[in-house]
Amino acid sequence: MQHTNSFVRADQHRALGLSTFAFTVCFAVWTIFSIIGIQIKQDLGLTDTQFGLLVATPVLTGSISRMFLGLWTEQFGGRIVFPLQMMITAVAVWMMTFVETYEMFLLVALGLGLAGGSFIIGVAYVSRWFENKHQGTALGVFGVGNVGAAITNFAAPFLVVALGWEGTAKVYAVALAITAVLFYVFAMPDPEHQRRQSLGKKPVSVAEQLAPLKNMQVWRFSVYYFFVFGAFVALASFLPRYYVGAYGVELTTAGILAGLYSLPGSVFRAVGGWMSDKWGARFVTYMTFAVSLMVLFLMSYPGSHYIVQGINGAIEFDIRVSLGLFVTLSIILGFVMSLGKAAVYKHIPHYYPNHVGSVGGLVGMIGGLGGFILPIAFGILLDATGIWTAPFMLLFALVAVSTLWMHAAIRKIERKQHLNLAIETYP
């Protein structure tokens, strides 16, 4: 065992660093439609609902693919699956530059969406290099790769101005292909995969990997992740459009402001992992939901004009969230969502250490589906209500339901623990 620890100490930073870098590039590619999609929307004359579907389509593939990519990573190892996934995605991104119709854009977006599946590959790969007490911090550091969304929001608008959206897509495709080669050259097989090979053991069967999915606890974690990750992806794609439409800012400015949300939603995930290791994932999740409820209530308040009958006649006044306040609220929301993402994935290797790929794949898939469903729902709400803040009303309701379910489940667990303790004490 001492040999294993020394081996891990020598190579775990390499595994974590390479995985985080690769995930960052993949996440930047995954959210590219949040910027180039605005130009495509104008070129094709798309409605908000059509635009929402275009932005959400890569998220659909990225979500569904997490399930089988997690299984394959447990079977064949991250050093093989990660580069293969990146190379296939790079081809899809390059092919996008030859597309002209909306239907073909949706088809190519499905291939581009494989970039989102990189998360579960990295989780399954990285978790093998760290013991349980440090997995929260390690996976939190890996999750900083979400900063790829901020990189796209900051940099892609300027690339679009300089190179057009086609040139921007080609830059992203080349960067992803180079990353795939670098990862394959410098990464090492994870210790568990090496151990199985040295003992001549066959990979774990799919049926055994999927066995934990019958537990309701797994599905509850999935709902949490539907908000902390799915809504994060949805807002990273939606906010540029929101700033342009609701506040009338330029695309480059909208990208920067959206990046201010995406940045803390990414880089502080490592802090969330450390907090989960120190104070427990349950505490961090509670805090995430409580703060999110308060922030989303303010963000969802629509600009309103009031007329109050005062003593000396009618009094008129407006209530509207200013651009500066809204940006501040979005930064706070992004920060607590980053903590929540780390807290959810702290649970998985703790409760299911031998099924990180399958359980993490399901949780990631359901969470990622939030990034697919929510942009479409945002577009439908905007078209149906004409209220810019309607999407944030939906998110407020989602967090409220998640909080109530979590609290009810925890109280049920606590009552069961107290009952068992009473039976042991007074048999």
Q: Reply yes or no on whether the pLDDT at 183 is more than 60.
A: yes
Identity of the highest mean pLDDT range in 108-117, 201-210, 351-360? 108-117
Exposure string (b/e) for 301-340, b if CB count within 10 Å is 16 or more?
Answer: eeeeeeeeeeeeeeeeeeeebeeeebbebbbbbbbbbbbb
Angle at 148 between CA 178 and CA 30, to 5 degrees: 75
Confidence tier at 174 by pLDDT (50, 70, 90): very high
Residue-range domains of the chain with CATH? 2-263+346-425 (1.20.1250.20)
Q: Reply yes or no on whether the pLDDT at 424 is more than 70.
A: no
pLDDT at 203: 60
Can you tell me the mean pLDDT for 309-320?
Answer: 73
Can you tell me the mean pLDDT for 198-210?
Answer: 61
pLDDT (tens digit, 9 = 90+) per residue, 241-273? 889 888 888 878 888 898 888 777 667 777 887
pLDDT at 2: 37
How far is Cα 161 from Cα 44, in angstroms, rounded to an integer?
Answer: 18
Identity of the highest mean pLDDT range in 146-150, 207-211, 219-223? 219-223
Q: Reply yes or no on whether the pLDDT at 24 is more than 80.
A: yes
- Beta carbons of 263 and 334 less than 8 angstroms apart: yes
Who's near 128: CB < 8 A, 6+ residues apart? 190, 191, 192, 193
Confidence tier at 205 by pLDDT (50, 70, 90): low
Angle at 123 between CA 269 and CA 378, to 5 degrees: 60
A 10 A CB-CB count for 357 gives 30
Q: Reply yes or no on whether the pLDDT at 146 is more than 90.
A: no
pLDDT at 425: 46
pLDDT at 6: 47
Identity of the highest mean pLDDT range in 60-69, 115-124, 326-335, 413-422? 326-335
Confidence tier at 426 by pLDDT (50, 70, 90): very low
Kindly list the distances between the CA atom of residue 62 and the CA atoms of 11, 14, 345, 365, in Å, as whole numbers in the listed order: 28, 25, 17, 8
pLDDT at 9: 67
